[in-house]
Structure 1
Amino acid sequence: MSEPVRTLLLWCPDWPVLAAEIADGVPATDPVAVLHANRVVACSERARAEGVRRGLRRREAQGRCPQLTVVDHDPGRDARAFEPVVAAVEEVAVGVEVIRPGACALAARGPSRYLGGEEAAAERIIEHVAHSCAVESQVGIAAGVFAAGLAARRGRIVPPGGTPEFLAGQPVAALGRPALADLLRRLGMRTLGDFAALPAGDVLARFGFDGVLAHRLAAGRDDRPLAVRRPPADLTVTADLDEPIERVDVAAFAARTLAERLHERLAGYGLACTRLGIEAVTAHGQELHRVWRHDGLLSAAAIADRVRWQLDGWLSGGGRGGDRPARPTAGIIRLRLVPDGVLAQAGLQPGLWGETGAERERAHRALSRVQGLLGPEAVVTAVLGGGRSPDDQTRLVPWGDERLPARPGAVGSGGPRSGGSGAAVGSEGKPPRVGGRASSGPAVPSWPGRLPPPSPAVVLPVPLAVSVLDATGVPVVVSARLAVSAPPARLVIDPAAAAIAPAGAIVPIGGGASAEIVGWVGPWPVDERWWAPAEARRRARFQVRLADGGALLLAVEAGRWLLEAIYD
């Protein structure tokens, strides 16, 4: 097995304490302890000098250091405070993975090549983080994230090929598994080298899968790839104007152009704006800023309108009474739009008539006009719901009505297991046959007897009468116990049924013509509403494949074969 990728890991000691200083102003130079579940999870250097250690209870920690400042553990605070550090690392090298707040890693090869070696790269990153964020950090380089993390705590660069030797001398507590480390010590294994020397099979049998993972880490076989973080995109758009803008009509034109640029940039990342920051700079250096909020998602036209309204307010000195703001002392020479609140563009994806907005509204008005001329049923949309057959899984709803299914849909997908009466699929509960062979069915859906996916492409409004013959030309018969008399071999569509088929109905073969059946699945029985004789319906369905590649859905009901649907 090849050695894991050499990894550069940056570690900020006592990060929860530093995060408390950054976010809450708690001096990290004082004796400080961060507690979770009444135990110390991190402490400052001065607190350690007083005897405070991780894992101590609150009362014991305060007994060792009476002047100890206690801070509650807040993972969100730690992550927010660490974001500027990650951004600073990304300014020097790309492909950063955040291991946890206070530690991030990246492949060492890239920065070492263009910064003059691994040592130079480590020094450059440490200096840049200290200059940008005023945070002390240490860097370790080794093969794999685990070994690089241990090296970072010692500020070491492990030479290539030396990771197993470096790990061999580390204590078993470095695995971060207290229970396993305690057990290994009681078994006489003090270092990772002792643990790595055990056979992998014995480790699996004694310690389980987590023990095997720890065994791989101890042996330096941490080959987990880095989950590279994607840096946040710069979504801000700026326009530097050749001539200062002092008129509202000129400002409106500039606003629309800038709004379209912002909308295109957001759409390129699959985002939409909910809160927009508008910034302007005048020729005299005056800076203007305003944030607009919106309950929904801002389209390009909505962004342009808000920019125009704001520029109009600035240039005309909008306001009332004594609160009327002063008009800018000079024209605007720079416009900047900052998407302050962005969401995944779930509600603005392209639809049938383009993006959500004006085009969709035009389509709505046109369809409503058609309904006004021809009636509500003239324009309908399909709504999927529950059912056992394709013809009863779709409900046509007039345009504008609430799109609710007539029946609850299935939970998950899968092939039918039983009919409405609880009859098993196939004969005597065995799986259905595919060309005479048994095949296993998927999980039970919420509609027993429902056809498995994929769904047919065309469902005939009126099933066509057909004949299904065996290899000798004898009609195939399905008994009440779902026994098939012979494998289906040919399909013949009744000429009379084909002649009276509805206009536009797709008939796979001409009336009276026959087609060879090369594969089939079934029978799948459905016994619906057996408790109401007047509404009862009992049938068995087959899926067949023809020699020309077409596939059909057939059903046997009251001794007659019917063509119900056609697969694409």
Structure 2
Amino acid sequence: MGRVVVGWIPDFPVLAGGALEAEAVAVVHRDTVVACSAAARTAGVRRRMRLRVALARCPQLRVVERDLAAEMRVFEPVVRHLEDTVMPRLEVIRPGLIAAPARGPSRYWGGEQQLADRLIAAIGERDLPARAGAADTVFAAALAARTGQLVAVGADAAWLAPYPVGVLGLPRLTELLQRLGIRTVGAFAQLPEDKVLARFGSECAAAHRTARGHEARPVTARKSSDEHTVVHAFEPAEHLLEPVTFVAKAVAEQLHEQLAAAGVVCARLEAGVEFADGRTLTRIFRHEGRLSALAVAERVRGVLQAWADAGTLDAGGERGIVRLVLRPEQLSAATGRQGALFGERHTPEELERAAARVQAMLGHQSVVRVELGGGRGPADRVRLVPFGDVDTGRRLPDGPWPGRLPAPHPATVYPAWLPAQLTDNAGEPVTLSGRLALSAAPAHVAVEGHGEAAVAGWAGPWPVLEQWWDRERARRIARIQIAAADGRAWLLVIEHGRWWAEAHYG
């Protein structure tokens, strides 16, 4: 069994965004925290936490949307430095996390501990904190890197055994195992392999292999295959970076289509560019069938931008790019997912028949699908479309939508606005002028069915003027956020001089 060494830069997405050391920062993707600073963790923010919950725990939290290409651009000089000073070939699992075979480099540096120390020192030379670990598998080595440990040869399973099953990274499996009383990785590893595969499917069977100290996906004897390599030639040579990054997504989609047609997945993916002067630059990413075509394109774009910033992609003279190559490595069979206890993959025909039966019994509106849409208000962001209907009101969710309310989003959006009152200290109604000036500071808020409370704070108002050219659909309103002293928070709307409660923040 080969040994693996892993280098890890804690909170790398936060560092890549240029956050200050004492600043409470959270990097989010799809309203979920993917990384946070030490100051944010002190305030109670954690990874995988919903953004709304994180802001409730840390109101001063600075939220940064994740930019994977930017992270790759910052991380690429670190990877090149490691290749030049520590080991000649390594894999990028994700920005801030690399893995490499430990056997050769450890012999060169005098042992695994010396290799780990050299890896940490080399990353430190780029002014970044780092930790390193080694084990028989990538998963165990990555987990060991968090505490700077070297797991003994053949001891991965025993070392992993005390950890909670949540470290395996499958939330639904974790929830089910805990209901069954299986709370540690060691207890999960003791289950029969064939029973796990039959009951939970191939994805959970891969996690079971990990728990037993094996690589999640068996490696075939064929490490790479030019049969599935995808190449795009630029004629004449391309001297601009943007056309190359644009082509990268199309090339990645072609690669995924070829692998799917062949019924295989790749554990690693090598991306390379060839220049007119004969040079070749390559980078290897960990894939394991999990990266979409867009994710591959983002990684390629980040690496190319990093090379360009470092002057490596000098496009002058005869140094233009002539080929972009994506080469899959370590191919294995794509087993798909079993129809198991949860996570079933049904065919579209089965879904359509089941939905049609329910609609026939309960009505056309009984089965709906959620569609993200564009708009400025919270009710415009999500629409429920009956299954089988064409979404005729589709609007691009990304906008631009001037006047759109920023996150956090309300927990409850009322289908029909609730009558509300906003008064000042004298008990007089608070009004809004045509120049968006409040007649007085809000002092009390009352929402129908929810009583009255003092106003602890407020923000706004923000005007919304929509479709003024259409008399029937035109809307002129203003929104204001109200924090009440009873702990509730409201999104109020004023229209034609009257206040309404549009949403409630949970």
Alignment TM-score, normalising by the size of structure 2: 0.45
Alignment TM-score, normalising by the size of structure 1: 0.40
Structure with more relative contact order (C-alpha pairs < 8 Å, separation 6 or more): 2
Bigger radius of gyration, 1 or 2?
1
